[in-house]
A and B are shown apart, each in its own frame.
Chain A
Protein backbone atom coordinates (compact mmCIF):
# COMPACT_ATOMS: atom_id res chain seq x y z
CA UNK A 1 0.00 0.00 0.00
CA UNK A 2 1.61 3.28 -1.00
CA UNK A 3 2.08 5.86 1.69
CA UNK A 4 0.35 9.20 1.31
CA UNK A 5 2.58 11.64 -0.51
CA UNK A 6 2.53 14.12 2.36
CA UNK A 7 2.04 11.96 5.40
CA UNK A 8 3.90 14.48 7.54
CA UNK A 9 1.16 17.01 6.93
CA UNK A 10 -1.19 14.98 9.01
CA UNK A 11 1.30 14.85 11.88
CA UNK A 12 1.83 18.59 11.69
CA UNK A 13 -1.89 19.13 11.64
CA UNK A 14 -2.31 17.00 14.72
CA UNK A 15 0.50 18.86 16.49
CA UNK A 16 -1.13 22.20 15.72
CA UNK A 17 -4.83 21.43 15.89
CA UNK A 18 -5.03 17.99 17.46
CA UNK A 19 -6.15 19.25 20.85
CA UNK A 20 -9.24 20.90 19.44
CA UNK A 21 -10.02 17.91 17.27
CA UNK A 22 -9.62 15.50 20.16
CA UNK A 23 -11.89 17.62 22.33
CA UNK A 24 -14.53 17.57 19.61
CA UNK A 25 -14.15 13.82 19.30
CA UNK A 26 -14.56 13.25 23.03
CA UNK A 27 -17.70 15.36 23.07
CA UNK A 28 -19.08 13.47 20.10
CA UNK A 29 -18.20 10.04 21.43
CA UNK A 30 -19.05 10.59 25.07
CA UNK A 31 -15.80 9.52 26.71
CA UNK A 32 -12.06 10.02 26.51
CA UNK A 33 -11.36 6.52 25.26
CA UNK A 34 -14.17 6.52 22.72
CA UNK A 35 -13.17 10.02 21.62
CA UNK A 36 -9.61 8.89 20.96
CA UNK A 37 -10.96 5.88 19.09
CA UNK A 38 -13.21 8.12 17.02
CA UNK A 39 -10.39 10.51 16.17
CA UNK A 40 -8.18 7.55 15.36
CA UNK A 41 -10.86 6.17 13.06
CA UNK A 42 -11.15 9.55 11.33
CA UNK A 43 -7.38 9.76 10.92
CA UNK A 44 -7.25 6.27 9.45
CA UNK A 45 -9.96 7.16 7.02
CA UNK A 46 -8.04 10.25 5.96
CA UNK A 47 -4.89 8.17 5.55
CA UNK A 48 -6.81 5.80 3.31
CA UNK A 49 -8.38 8.56 1.30
CA UNK A 50 -5.61 11.10 1.17
CA UNK A 51 -5.69 11.29 -2.58
CA UNK A 52 -9.26 12.54 -2.38
CA UNK A 53 -8.35 15.47 -0.14
CA UNK A 54 -9.03 18.67 -1.93
CA UNK A 55 -8.40 21.89 -0.05
CA UNK A 56 -7.84 22.17 3.67
CA UNK A 57 -6.67 18.96 5.31
CA UNK A 58 -8.05 20.14 8.65
CA UNK A 59 -11.48 20.80 7.19
CA UNK A 60 -11.42 17.41 5.55
CA UNK A 61 -10.42 15.67 8.79
CA UNK A 62 -13.06 17.58 10.71
CA UNK A 63 -15.74 16.67 8.18
CA UNK A 64 -14.67 13.04 8.38
CA UNK A 65 -14.75 13.12 12.18
CA UNK A 66 -18.22 14.61 12.36
CA UNK A 67 -19.62 12.45 9.61
CA UNK A 68 -18.29 9.31 11.26
CA UNK A 69 -19.93 10.41 14.48
CA UNK A 70 -23.19 11.42 12.82
CA UNK A 71 -23.34 8.09 11.02
CA UNK A 72 -23.01 6.22 14.28
CA UNK A 73 -19.45 5.26 13.56
CA UNK A 74 -19.68 1.99 15.39
CA UNK A 75 -23.06 0.98 14.10
CA UNK A 76 -21.54 -2.07 12.49
CA UNK A 77 -19.57 -3.11 15.53
CA UNK A 78 -22.08 -3.08 18.33
CA UNK A 79 -20.02 -5.49 20.37
CA UNK A 80 -17.64 -2.72 21.18
CA UNK A 81 -17.94 -1.11 24.52
CA UNK A 82 -19.81 2.10 24.89
CA UNK A 83 -20.50 4.15 27.91
CA UNK A 84 -23.82 3.29 29.42
CA UNK A 85 -26.62 5.67 28.94
CA UNK A 86 -27.19 7.94 31.84
CA UNK A 87 -30.75 7.20 32.70
CA UNK A 88 -31.58 10.75 33.45
CA UNK A 89 -35.23 10.17 32.68
CA UNK A 90 -35.56 7.65 35.49
CA UNK A 91 -36.64 8.78 38.93
CA UNK A 92 -33.60 6.98 40.27
CA UNK A 93 -31.38 9.59 38.69
CA UNK A 94 -32.80 12.35 40.83
CA UNK A 95 -29.98 13.97 42.74
CA UNK A 96 -29.82 13.40 46.46
CA UNK A 97 -27.30 13.95 49.18
CA UNK A 98 -25.59 10.67 48.44
CA UNK A 99 -25.31 11.10 44.74
CA UNK A 100 -25.00 14.77 44.09
CA UNK A 101 -24.87 14.98 40.35
CA UNK A 102 -23.05 17.89 38.85
CA UNK A 103 -25.55 19.45 36.55
CA UNK A 104 -23.12 19.91 33.69
CA UNK A 105 -21.88 16.36 33.90
CA UNK A 106 -25.47 15.21 33.87
CA UNK A 107 -26.24 17.40 30.90
CA UNK A 108 -23.29 15.95 29.02
CA UNK A 109 -24.75 12.58 29.95
CA UNK A 110 -28.01 13.47 28.26
CA UNK A 111 -26.04 14.22 25.11
CA UNK A 112 -25.33 10.51 24.85
CA UNK A 113 -29.02 9.81 24.63
CA UNK A 114 -29.43 11.81 21.46
CA UNK A 115 -29.17 10.31 18.03
CA UNK A 116 -25.67 10.49 16.54
CA UNK A 117 -26.76 13.18 14.11
CA UNK A 118 -28.40 15.30 16.80
CA UNK A 119 -25.29 14.95 18.94
CA UNK A 120 -23.05 16.03 16.07
CA UNK A 121 -25.25 19.04 15.40
CA UNK A 122 -25.30 20.07 19.06
CA UNK A 123 -21.52 19.81 19.34
CA UNK A 124 -21.00 21.76 16.14
CA UNK A 125 -23.48 24.47 17.05
CA UNK A 126 -22.77 24.86 20.76
CA UNK A 127 -19.15 23.79 21.13
CA UNK A 128 -17.63 24.74 17.79
CA UNK A 129 -20.05 27.70 17.60
CA UNK A 130 -20.70 27.00 13.94
CA UNK A 131 -23.62 28.64 12.21
CA UNK A 132 -26.42 26.50 10.83
CA UNK A 133 -25.00 26.94 7.34
CA UNK A 134 -21.50 25.92 8.43
CA UNK A 135 -22.88 22.96 10.33
CA UNK A 136 -24.85 21.86 7.29
CA UNK A 137 -21.73 22.10 5.16
CA UNK A 138 -19.68 19.95 7.53
CA UNK A 139 -22.36 17.30 7.78
CA UNK A 140 -23.33 17.44 4.14
CA UNK A 141 -27.00 18.11 4.80
CA UNK A 142 -29.40 20.99 4.48
CA UNK A 143 -29.77 23.85 6.91
CA UNK A 144 -33.30 22.67 7.53
CA UNK A 145 -31.99 19.33 8.68
CA UNK A 146 -29.53 21.06 11.01
CA UNK A 147 -32.26 23.28 12.39
CA UNK A 148 -34.57 20.34 13.04
CA UNK A 149 -31.83 18.19 14.59
CA UNK A 150 -30.72 21.01 16.89
CA UNK A 151 -34.27 21.76 17.92
CA UNK A 152 -35.11 18.13 18.64
CA UNK A 153 -31.80 17.51 20.35
CA UNK A 154 -32.18 20.47 22.66
CA UNK A 155 -35.79 19.55 23.35
CA UNK A 156 -34.74 16.03 24.33
CA UNK A 157 -31.92 17.30 26.54
CA UNK A 158 -34.31 19.72 28.17
CA UNK A 159 -36.80 16.92 28.81
CA UNK A 160 -34.12 14.77 30.37
CA UNK A 161 -32.78 17.64 32.46
CA UNK A 162 -36.28 18.42 33.65
CA UNK A 163 -36.16 15.39 35.90
CA UNK A 164 -33.55 17.17 38.02
CA UNK A 165 -34.57 20.75 37.70
CA UNK A 166 -37.87 22.06 36.65
CA UNK A 167 -37.23 25.34 34.93
CA UNK A 168 -34.70 27.24 32.93
CA UNK A 169 -34.51 29.67 35.79
CA UNK A 170 -33.37 26.90 38.07
CA UNK A 171 -30.93 25.70 35.46
CA UNK A 172 -29.51 29.17 35.16
CA UNK A 173 -29.35 29.45 38.92
CA UNK A 174 -26.96 26.52 39.08
CA UNK A 175 -24.42 28.05 36.80
CA UNK A 176 -22.26 29.47 39.55
Chain B
Protein backbone atom coordinates (compact mmCIF):
# COMPACT_ATOMS: atom_id res chain seq x y z
CA UNK B 1 0.00 0.00 0.00
CA UNK B 2 1.47 3.26 -1.12
CA UNK B 3 4.93 4.48 -0.22
CA UNK B 4 7.70 2.62 1.49
CA UNK B 5 6.90 4.50 4.68
CA UNK B 6 3.35 3.20 4.63
CA UNK B 7 4.71 -0.28 3.96
CA UNK B 8 6.98 0.13 6.96
CA UNK B 9 4.02 1.16 9.09
CA UNK B 10 2.12 -1.94 7.97
CA UNK B 11 5.12 -4.13 8.62
CA UNK B 12 5.64 -2.60 12.06
CA UNK B 13 2.00 -3.15 12.99
CA UNK B 14 2.10 -6.74 11.77
CA UNK B 15 5.23 -7.50 13.74
CA UNK B 16 3.88 -5.90 16.89
CA UNK B 17 0.62 -7.77 16.48
CA UNK B 18 2.47 -11.04 16.03
CA UNK B 19 4.21 -10.45 19.35
CA UNK B 20 0.95 -10.09 21.26
CA UNK B 21 0.63 -12.70 24.00
CA UNK B 22 -2.53 -14.68 23.60
CA UNK B 23 -4.19 -15.85 26.79
CA UNK B 24 -4.59 -19.60 27.00
CA UNK B 25 -8.33 -19.28 26.67
CA UNK B 26 -9.63 -16.19 24.97
CA UNK B 27 -13.21 -17.08 25.79
CA UNK B 28 -12.27 -16.43 29.40
CA UNK B 29 -12.16 -12.73 28.54
CA UNK B 30 -15.82 -12.84 27.64
CA UNK B 31 -16.67 -14.70 30.85
CA UNK B 32 -14.66 -12.19 32.83
CA UNK B 33 -16.55 -9.36 31.15
CA UNK B 34 -19.83 -10.93 32.21
CA UNK B 35 -18.58 -11.46 35.75
CA UNK B 36 -17.33 -7.90 35.85
CA UNK B 37 -20.66 -6.69 34.60
CA UNK B 38 -22.51 -8.65 37.28
CA UNK B 39 -20.07 -7.42 39.94
CA UNK B 40 -20.58 -3.83 38.89
CA UNK B 41 -24.31 -4.22 38.98
CA UNK B 42 -24.07 -5.74 42.44
CA UNK B 43 -21.83 -2.92 43.63
CA UNK B 44 -24.15 -0.31 42.21
CA UNK B 45 -27.15 -1.98 43.80
CA UNK B 46 -25.32 -2.21 47.10
CA UNK B 47 -24.55 1.47 47.06
CA UNK B 48 -20.86 0.78 47.50
CA UNK B 49 -18.11 2.77 45.90
CA UNK B 50 -17.19 0.84 42.82
CA UNK B 51 -13.65 -0.02 42.07
CA UNK B 52 -13.28 0.61 38.39
CA UNK B 53 -12.36 -2.04 35.95
CA UNK B 54 -9.18 -0.15 35.25
CA UNK B 55 -8.28 -0.17 38.91
CA UNK B 56 -8.81 -3.89 39.07
CA UNK B 57 -6.63 -4.36 36.07
CA UNK B 58 -3.77 -2.80 37.96
CA UNK B 59 -3.83 -5.30 40.75
CA UNK B 60 -4.99 -8.47 39.02
CA UNK B 61 -2.00 -10.83 39.01
CA UNK B 62 -0.62 -11.40 35.57
CA UNK B 63 -1.17 -15.11 36.04
CA UNK B 64 -4.69 -14.54 34.78
CA UNK B 65 -3.26 -13.87 31.36
CA UNK B 66 -0.56 -16.48 31.34
CA UNK B 67 1.27 -16.68 28.06
CA UNK B 68 4.41 -18.14 26.61
CA UNK B 69 6.64 -15.54 28.22
CA UNK B 70 5.63 -16.42 31.76
CA UNK B 71 8.61 -17.61 33.78
CA UNK B 72 8.61 -21.00 35.39
CA UNK B 73 7.16 -21.06 38.85
CA UNK B 74 10.40 -22.67 40.02
CA UNK B 75 12.35 -19.60 39.01
CA UNK B 76 10.00 -17.36 40.91
CA UNK B 77 9.98 -19.54 43.98
CA UNK B 78 13.74 -19.51 44.25
CA UNK B 79 13.92 -15.75 43.89
CA UNK B 80 13.18 -13.62 46.88
CA UNK B 81 12.38 -9.97 46.86
CA UNK B 82 15.53 -9.40 48.89
CA UNK B 83 17.63 -11.06 46.17
CA UNK B 84 16.04 -9.00 43.45
CA UNK B 85 16.27 -5.73 45.35
CA UNK B 86 19.88 -6.41 46.32
CA UNK B 87 20.74 -7.15 42.70
CA UNK B 88 18.87 -4.03 41.62
CA UNK B 89 20.70 -1.89 44.13
CA UNK B 90 24.05 -3.26 43.03
CA UNK B 91 23.20 -2.74 39.39
CA UNK B 92 22.02 0.81 39.91
CA UNK B 93 25.14 1.60 41.91
CA UNK B 94 27.41 0.02 39.31
CA UNK B 95 25.62 1.69 36.45
CA UNK B 96 25.75 5.05 38.18
CA UNK B 97 29.42 5.28 37.33
CA UNK B 98 29.20 4.19 33.74
CA UNK B 99 25.74 4.84 32.43
CA UNK B 100 23.49 7.76 31.89
CA UNK B 101 20.12 7.26 33.49
CA UNK B 102 17.12 8.65 31.67
CA UNK B 103 13.79 8.68 33.47
CA UNK B 104 10.68 9.76 31.66
CA UNK B 105 7.80 10.35 34.02
CA UNK B 106 4.19 10.91 32.98
CA UNK B 107 1.80 12.35 35.54
CA UNK B 108 -1.91 11.70 35.60
CA UNK B 109 -4.07 13.75 37.95
CA UNK B 110 -1.00 15.25 39.54
CA UNK B 111 1.66 17.54 38.22
CA UNK B 112 5.26 18.27 38.98
CA UNK B 113 5.53 21.82 40.11
CA UNK B 114 8.59 23.87 39.14
CA UNK B 115 9.53 27.29 40.39
CA UNK B 116 10.28 29.65 37.53
CA UNK B 117 10.94 33.40 37.38
CA UNK B 118 7.75 35.13 38.50
CA UNK B 119 5.49 32.11 38.22
CA UNK B 120 5.26 28.38 38.62
CA UNK B 121 5.24 25.72 35.96
CA UNK B 122 3.14 22.58 36.27
CA UNK B 123 4.33 19.73 34.11
CA UNK B 124 2.37 16.72 32.92
CA UNK B 125 5.53 14.90 31.93
CA UNK B 126 9.22 15.21 32.62
CA UNK B 127 12.37 13.66 31.29
CA UNK B 128 15.32 13.55 33.66
CA UNK B 129 18.87 12.75 32.61
CA UNK B 130 21.30 11.87 35.38
CA UNK B 131 24.98 11.08 35.26
CA UNK B 132 27.30 11.39 38.24
CA UNK B 133 26.64 14.86 39.62
CA UNK B 134 24.87 16.23 36.60
CA UNK B 135 21.16 16.29 36.03
CA UNK B 136 18.94 17.76 33.39
CA UNK B 137 15.20 17.86 33.59
CA UNK B 138 12.81 18.89 30.85
CA UNK B 139 9.18 19.55 31.68
CA UNK B 140 6.33 19.15 29.24
CA UNK B 141 2.66 20.02 29.06
CA UNK B 142 0.09 17.36 28.22
CA UNK B 143 0.33 18.31 24.56
CA UNK B 144 4.09 17.67 24.65
CA UNK B 145 4.92 21.37 24.55
CA UNK B 146 8.26 22.04 26.20
CA UNK B 147 7.73 24.28 29.23
CA UNK B 148 10.95 24.27 31.14
CA UNK B 149 14.48 22.99 30.72
CA UNK B 150 16.63 22.91 33.83
CA UNK B 151 20.15 21.56 34.30
CA UNK B 152 21.79 21.19 37.69
CA UNK B 153 25.37 20.28 38.54
CA UNK B 154 25.71 19.01 42.10
CA UNK B 155 29.36 19.26 43.09
CA UNK B 156 28.58 18.64 46.75
CA UNK B 157 26.86 15.31 46.34
CA UNK B 158 29.84 13.15 45.59
CA UNK B 159 32.73 15.22 46.80
CA UNK B 160 31.35 16.52 50.06
CA UNK B 161 32.76 19.89 49.22
CA UNK B 162 29.82 21.83 50.55
CA UNK B 163 29.76 23.84 47.36
CA UNK B 164 26.48 24.95 45.97
CA UNK B 165 24.93 23.37 42.94
CA UNK B 166 24.82 25.35 39.73
CA UNK B 167 21.32 25.57 38.37
CA UNK B 168 20.69 26.70 34.80
CA UNK B 169 17.12 27.00 33.65
CA UNK B 170 15.28 27.96 30.52
CA UNK B 171 11.67 29.00 30.88
CA UNK B 172 9.92 28.53 27.55
CA UNK B 173 6.77 30.20 28.79
CA UNK B 174 8.27 33.57 29.65
CA UNK B 175 11.18 33.13 27.22
CA UNK B 176 13.71 33.77 29.94
CA UNK B 177 16.68 31.90 31.35
CA UNK B 178 18.77 32.00 34.51
CA UNK B 179 21.91 30.60 36.06
CA UNK B 180 22.26 30.51 39.83
CA UNK B 181 23.98 28.80 42.70
CA UNK B 182 21.69 26.90 44.99
CA UNK B 183 22.28 24.66 48.02
CA UNK B 184 22.22 21.05 46.89
CA UNK B 185 19.68 19.67 49.27
CA UNK B 186 17.50 17.49 47.14
CA UNK B 187 19.11 14.22 48.10
CA UNK B 188 18.89 15.11 51.77
CA UNK B 189 15.28 16.15 51.58
CA UNK B 190 14.27 12.91 49.99
CA UNK B 191 16.20 10.57 52.23
CA UNK B 192 14.03 7.72 53.52
CA UNK B 193 12.81 7.83 57.12
CA UNK B 194 14.90 6.12 59.76
CA UNK B 195 11.96 4.26 61.22
CA UNK B 196 9.42 2.08 59.51
CA UNK B 197 6.72 3.66 61.63
CA UNK B 198 7.53 7.16 60.52
CA UNK B 199 4.96 8.67 58.19
CA UNK B 200 6.29 9.63 54.79
CA UNK B 201 5.81 13.21 53.69
CA UNK B 202 3.47 13.37 50.69
CA UNK B 203 6.19 14.22 48.20
CA UNK B 204 8.66 11.69 49.53
CA UNK B 205 6.56 8.67 48.62
CA UNK B 206 7.26 9.52 45.01
CA UNK B 207 10.94 10.12 45.50
CA UNK B 208 12.45 6.70 44.91
CA UNK B 209 10.61 5.98 41.76
CA UNK B 210 11.31 8.61 39.22
CA UNK B 211 13.72 11.09 40.61
CA UNK B 212 17.29 10.49 39.53
CA UNK B 213 17.80 6.87 40.47
CA UNK B 214 21.50 6.72 41.29
CA UNK B 215 21.63 8.56 44.58
CA UNK B 216 18.14 7.86 45.83
CA UNK B 217 16.83 4.51 44.57
CA UNK B 218 19.18 2.37 46.62
CA UNK B 219 18.36 3.86 50.04
CA UNK B 220 14.67 3.87 49.27
CA UNK B 221 14.63 0.28 48.06
CA UNK B 222 16.48 -0.70 51.24
CA UNK B 223 13.91 1.18 53.29
CA UNK B 224 10.99 -0.61 51.65
CA UNK B 225 12.74 -3.94 51.96
CA UNK B 226 13.67 -3.41 55.61
CA UNK B 227 10.10 -2.46 56.41
CA UNK B 228 8.66 -5.44 54.53
CA UNK B 229 6.82 -3.26 52.09
CA UNK B 230 7.76 -5.04 48.87
CA UNK B 231 7.01 -8.42 47.36
CA UNK B 232 7.60 -10.15 44.05
CA UNK B 233 4.56 -10.43 41.82
CA UNK B 234 5.72 -12.56 38.92
CA UNK B 235 6.75 -11.21 35.60
CA UNK B 236 5.19 -8.78 33.22
CA UNK B 237 6.24 -7.60 29.82
CA UNK B 238 6.83 -3.87 29.94
CA UNK B 239 8.78 -1.71 27.54
CA UNK B 240 9.82 -4.77 25.58
CA UNK B 241 11.28 -6.54 28.62
CA UNK B 242 9.95 -9.60 30.39
CA UNK B 243 10.46 -7.79 33.66
CA UNK B 244 10.38 -8.88 37.28
CA UNK B 245 7.47 -7.14 38.93
CA UNK B 246 7.85 -5.84 42.47
CA UNK B 247 4.82 -4.41 44.19
CA UNK B 248 4.34 -2.59 47.44
CA UNK B 249 2.32 -4.30 50.14
CA UNK B 250 0.95 -3.22 53.45
CA UNK B 251 1.20 0.42 52.54
CA UNK B 252 -1.58 2.93 52.45
CA UNK B 253 -2.24 4.60 49.15
CA UNK B 254 -0.31 5.50 47.03
CA UNK B 255 0.81 2.09 45.95
CA UNK B 256 3.91 1.36 43.95
CA UNK B 257 5.08 -1.08 41.34
CA UNK B 258 8.63 -1.39 40.07
CA UNK B 259 9.59 -3.50 37.07
CA UNK B 260 13.19 -4.73 36.94
CA UNK B 261 15.00 -6.15 33.95
CA UNK B 262 16.01 -9.73 34.92
CA UNK B 263 19.09 -9.54 32.72
CA UNK B 264 20.55 -6.36 34.18
CA UNK B 265 18.48 -5.89 37.35
CA UNK B 266 18.08 -2.27 36.39
CA UNK B 267 14.67 -0.65 36.78
CA UNK B 268 12.71 -0.59 33.55
CA UNK B 269 9.55 1.10 34.71
CA UNK B 270 7.85 2.20 37.89
CA UNK B 271 4.34 3.21 38.75
CA UNK B 272 2.93 5.11 41.71
CA UNK B 273 -0.81 5.27 41.93
CA UNK B 274 -3.64 5.90 44.31
CA UNK B 275 -6.74 3.81 44.50
CA UNK B 276 -8.86 6.00 46.70
CA UNK B 277 -9.76 9.65 47.00
CA UNK B 278 -8.38 11.95 44.36
CA UNK B 279 -6.86 9.48 42.02
CA UNK B 280 -3.58 10.08 40.35
CA UNK B 281 -0.72 8.07 39.01
CA UNK B 282 2.83 8.61 37.90
CA UNK B 283 4.43 6.25 35.44
CA UNK B 284 8.19 6.41 35.00
CA UNK B 285 10.13 4.76 32.22
CA UNK B 286 13.85 4.14 32.76
CA UNK B 287 16.60 3.93 30.19
CA UNK B 288 20.27 3.31 30.83
CA UNK B 289 22.59 4.62 28.19
CA UNK B 290 26.32 4.44 27.75
CA UNK B 291 28.14 7.66 28.56
CA UNK B 292 28.93 8.39 24.95
CA UNK B 293 29.82 11.95 23.93
CA UNK B 294 26.41 12.24 22.31
CA UNK B 295 24.58 11.23 25.45
CA UNK B 296 26.73 13.40 27.70
CA UNK B 297 26.01 16.31 25.42
CA UNK B 298 22.45 16.13 26.74
CA UNK B 299 23.62 17.80 29.93
CA UNK B 300 24.51 20.99 28.05
CA UNK B 301 21.17 22.58 27.62
CA UNK B 302 20.86 25.11 24.82
CA UNK B 303 19.83 28.68 25.56
CA UNK B 304 17.54 29.66 22.68
CA UNK B 305 18.35 32.85 20.86
CA UNK B 306 16.29 35.82 21.96
CA UNK B 307 15.63 34.52 25.47
CA UNK B 308 16.24 37.09 28.22
CA UNK B 309 18.63 36.44 31.10
CA UNK B 310 16.96 37.08 34.46
CA UNK B 311 18.06 36.91 38.05
CA UNK B 312 16.44 33.94 39.73
CA UNK B 313 17.35 31.32 42.30
CA UNK B 314 14.97 28.36 42.41
CA UNK B 315 14.27 26.72 45.76
CA UNK B 316 16.05 23.37 46.07
CA UNK B 317 12.84 21.41 46.46
CA UNK B 318 10.85 19.46 43.95
CA UNK B 319 7.15 19.76 44.60
CA UNK B 320 4.06 18.03 43.37
CA UNK B 321 0.59 19.40 43.26
CA UNK B 322 -2.71 17.74 42.77
CA UNK B 323 -4.34 18.76 39.55
CA UNK B 324 -8.06 18.74 38.95
CA UNK B 325 -9.06 15.54 37.28
CA UNK B 326 -9.23 16.09 33.60
CA UNK B 327 -12.19 14.87 31.68
Partner-B contacts on A (CB < 8 A) = 1, 3-4, 7, 10-15, 18-19, 22-24, 26-27, 31-33, 35-37, 39-41, 43-44, 46-48, 74-85, 87, 89-92, 94, 96-99, 103-105, 107-108, 113, 122-123, 125-127, 129, 154, 157-158, 161, 168-169, 171-172, 175
Contacts and interface: CB of A to CB of B under 8 A. Distances in A.
Interface string B37-66: 110010000000000111101100000010
A155 to B, nearest CB: 10
- Name the prevailing secondary structure of the A interface residues: helix
Contacts of B285: 83-84
B30 A11 contact: yes
Given A44-B33, A84-B285, A78 B109 contact: yes
A127 B17 contact: yes
Nearest to B44: A1
Contacts of B23: 22, 36
B8 A172 contact: yes
A18 B38 CA distance: 22
Contacts of B38: 1
B29 A18 contact: yes
B145 to A, nearest CB: 11
Given A79-B273, A85-B144, 15 more contacts: A1-B38, A4-B34, A15-B26, A26-B17, A32-B20, A32-B65, A44-B36, A44-B37, A78-B108, A80-B108, A84-B105, A85-B104, A107-B12, A127-B13, A168-B4
B27 A22 contact: no
Interface of B: 1, 3-18, 20-23, 25-27, 29-34, 36-38, 41, 52-55, 57-58, 65, 99, 102, 104-106, 108-109, 125, 127, 129, 138, 144, 236-240, 271, 273-274, 279-281, 283-285, 287-290, 292, 294-295, 298, 325-327
A4 B53 CA distance: 20
12 contacts: A35-B20, A47-B33, A74-B54, A76-B327, A78-B325, A80-B55, A81-B283, A83-B283, A90-B138, A105-B240, A122-B13, A175-B4
A126 B326 contact: no
A15 B25 CA distance: 7
Contacts of B290: 96-99
A22 B281 CA distance: 25
A89 to B, nearest CB: 8
B16 A92 contact: no
A99 B289 contact: yes
With most chain A CB atoms within 10 A of its CB, the pick from B18, B99, B144 is: B144
A174 B266 CA distance: 29
Contacts of A84: 104-106, 125, 283-285
A98 B26 contact: no
